[in-house]
Amino acid sequence: MEKEIRVVMGLETHVQLNTKTKLFCSCLNASYLDELPPNSAVCDVCLGMPGTKPVINKKVIDLALKIALALNCKINQQFFFSRKTYFYPDLAKNYQITQYEIPLGINGKVKIRTSKGEKDIRIKRIHIEEDPAKLIHRNEYTLIDYNRSGCPLVEIVTEPDFNNAEEIRAYLTKLMQIVQYVDAFDSNKATFKSDLNISIEGGERVEVKNITGIKEVEIAANYEILRQKNIILRNGKIERETRRWDENRNITVSMRKKETEEDYGYIFDPDLPYIELDASYMEKIKSSLPELPDEKIARFMREYGINIKIAESLVYEKEVADLFEKAVKEGIEVKHASTWIGVVLRKILNYHNISYVASSIRDEWVIDVIKLYQEGRFNDLNTEMIMRKIFDDKMPPQEVIRKYGFKEKIDREKIKEHALQVIKKYEQAVQDYKTGKEKALEFLVGMVLKETKGSADPKDAREVLIELLQK
């Protein structure tokens, strides 16, 4: 057997924090606003004018601390900010304010689940820093938009604990869930970017910069694993370098041989105070944390007796988990609530690639659809169609039913009337069935469903037909 080449990967993920204003000035946090004119959310501070001084936005510390706690980090209650010096127009000061020597949190962990089971990904550090401006490269010149300059980020760095791309996807999915649970990130407005560090047995570490989202990191990881393995198999050498992800061509491209951290000349920023988080503040933030995804999954399995797959699906979004519990409280049986919300609703949301919150669907609409099903008023197929239409048309189920004329489920007696007609009309199929052709029955069931305009339950129709044909 061919020898398995060992792959080791780590991630550094930058998450845009959901605050109203920037990290060190009172400009609007442009990362969360669409379509502001370029260079409109700027001031002397975030443009780096001489003599201006940064003032820390306390809300950023609240949110970063919540994330650090939710990632099970040890908190450094005393810290300061540093300047990372580099010369590039995306930061007008020629340095980025970040945390280097003492990050806000260290030594955390995140539990992930993949097809191979559970695993802990260790978090090395989490720190606060400012986002640089956006550069737009044209053929002969470059445009700069400083709206994003100075917007708050947290950078979350893992230990090199990933061995394949599936683990990366599971981790990033979990991370995104957690930052949304603590209300620090809004996936419908802001983005997050990761740097992927990867080394394979026999080679040096390569860093792939600036990959947006989850899926792209997974594709980039698989690409880079393959590229490096091919080099090793041909007895080539992999040197330490920095590459970038070209998302149009789905390949990584070399940028430079990696500089070391010393090149940045980190230095303490004397414009900002030495910060100390006191015990009562820590307590306040801790007690404001919601029930986190892992705890919720465990409780759902225990309290409602549902399996881990459904529990994970329900808990994926906090608002969906709340919707499930609300439905159960309103008298929907767990089996109906968990299937219609954990499977069908999830499928619809994934299809539209939208979160439940952003879909602007009301809890009552979803609950009413499930109630109609539970009362036996609509069959599976029509219930699912109604559920889909409330998302498409943003209307309550009663209106959707009227608009599209969804037929209520009919009873067996009614089905029998239609079935008798179908039997009369399709003699050949009836003959075929009686001579053992099972397919003919499917056809007849289909005809009954058509006759009843989809209002018959397929299972009922089938049973009624079999009964009639036995005579």
Specify the pairing of strand 74-75 against strand 105-114. Answer: antiparallel
Burial label, 211 (beta-carbon count in 10 A; 0-12, 13-18, 19+): buried
Q: DSSP alpha helices (H): ranges in 32-164?
A: 58-70
Q: 3-class SS at 196?
A: strand
The answer to whether 154 contacts Zn ion (rule: CB under 5 A) is: no
Q: Does 12 bind ligand ADP (CB under 6 A)?
A: yes
Is there binding between residue 103 and ligand ADP (CB under 6 A)?
no
d(CA 468, CA 420): 8
Q: Which does 219 bind (CB under 5 to 8 A by kind): Zn ion, ligand ADP, none?
A: none
Nearer to Zn ion, 27 or 206 (CB): 27
Smallest gap, in angstroms, from Cβ of residue 116 to ligand ADP? 20
Cα Rg of the chain (Å, integer):
29
Q: Is 159 in the site for ligand ADP (CB under 6 A)?
A: yes
* Residue 282 touches Zn ion, criterion: CB under 5 A: no
Identify which of residues 39 and 163 has a Cβ nearer to ligand ADP in the complex: 163
Pick between residue 157 and residue 348 the one whose CB is nearest to ligand ADP.
Answer: 157
Measure CA of the first residue to CA of the last residue in the chain; give whole Å. Answer: 62
The reply to whether 43 sits near Zn ion by the rule CB under 5 A is yes
Which of ligand ADP, Zn ion, none sits in contact with 119, Cβ below 5 to 8 A by type?
none
Smallest distance from ligand ADP to CB 172, Å? 13
Out of 27, 30, 165, 225, the residue judged to bind Zn ion by CB under 5 A: 27
Report the nearest approach of Zn ion to the CB of residue 193 (Å).
22
Report residue 459 as tokens.
Answer: 């299972």
Q: Which of 9, 11, 28, 46: binder of Zn ion (CB under 5 A)?
A: 46
Q: Which of 7, 9, 15, 25 binds Zn ion (CB under 5 A)?
A: 25
Pairing of strands 206-212, 241-246: parallel
Contact region for ligand ADP (CB under 6 A) — 195-203, 245-253, 267-275, 413-421?
195-203
95-129 burial, b for 16+ CB within 10 Å, e for fewer? bbbbbbebbbbbebebebbeeeeebebebbbbbbb
Distance CA 23, CA 70 (A): 21
Q: Does 343 bind Zn ion (CB under 5 A)?
A: no
Return the residue matching tokens 């983005």: 191
Among 98, 199, 338, 383, binds ligand ADP (CB under 6 A): 199
User: Within 246-275, which residues bind ligand ADP (CB under 6 A)?
Assistant: 261
385 near Zn ion, judged by CB under 5 A: no
User: 426: exposed, middle or buried (C-beta count within 10 Å: 0-12, 13-18, 19+)?
Assistant: middle
Distance in Å, CB of 204 to ligand ADP, minimum: 8
Contacts of residue 463, defined as CB under 8 A and 6 or more positions apart, other chains included, come to 412
Rounded-to-10 torsion of CA 60, 64, 69, 70: 110
Q: Which of 46, 198, 327, 367 binds ligand ADP (CB under 6 A)?
A: 198
- DSSP code for 47: T
How many Cβ atoms are within 10 Å of 346's Cβ, its own excluded?
A: 19
The answer to whether residue 91 forms part of the interface with Zn ion (CB under 5 A) is: no
Residues in the site for Zn ion, rule: CB under 5 A? Answer: 25, 27, 43, 45-46
Residues in the site for ligand ADP, rule: CB under 6 A? Answer: 8-12, 157-160, 197-199, 205, 261
